[in-house]
Amino acid sequence: MIDAQLLQAAEALWQHIQTDTFFESLPESCRPQTVNDGYVIQQKLFEISGDQLVGWKIAATGQAGQKHISVTHPLAGRLLRSRCFDSGVTLPFGNNNMAVAEAEFAFTMGQDLLPRPQEYTVDEVMNAVQTVHPAIELPDSRFQDFTVAGGPSLIADFACARYFVLGDALNNGWRDLDLKSCNTKLTIDGETVVEGAGKDVLGGPDIALSWLVNQLSSLDITLHAGEFVTTGVCGKPCLIKAGDNVTSELEGIGETSLTLSI
Confirm if 47 and 122 have CB atoms less than 8 A apart: no
pLDDT given for residue 185 in this prediction? 98
DSSP letter (8 states) at residue 200: G
Q: Which helix (H) or strand (E) covers residue 165, if one does?
A: strand 163-166
Q: How is domain 53-68+79-149+159-261 classified at the architecture level of CATH?
A: Alpha-Beta Complex (3.90)
Instruction: Please report the pLDDT score of residue 235 as a whole number.
Output: 95
CB-CB contact of 235 with 184 (8 Å): yes
Kindly provide the residue ranges of all beta strands, DSSP E only, lying in 20-96, ordered along the sequence.
53-59, 75-80, 84-86, 89-92
Sort residue 243 into left (φ over 0), alpha (ψ -120 to 50) or beta.
left
Query: What is the residue extent of each domain of the chain?
Result: 53-68+79-149+159-261
pLDDT of 1 strictly over 80: no
Mean pLDDT of 152-157: 97
Average pLDDT, the chain: 96
- Identify the DSSP state of 78: E
DSSP H or E segment with residue 122 = helix 122-127
pLDDT digits (tens, 9 = 90+) for 138-147: 999 999 999 9
pLDDT at 26 over 80: yes
Lowest model confidence (mean pLDDT) among 27-41, 57-71, 144-158, 220-234: 57-71
pLDDT of residue 64: 80
Mean pLDDT value across residues 154-183 = 96
Instruction: Please give the angle made by the CA atoms of 149, 17 and 105, to the nearest 5 degrees.
Output: 75
Phi, psi of 200 (to 5 degrees): -70, -20
Contacts of 111 (CB under 8 A, 6+ apart): 127, 128, 225
Q: Mean pLDDT, to the nearest integer, of 160-167? A: 97
pLDDT at position 65: 83
Q: For 75-89, what is the mean pLDDT?
A: 98
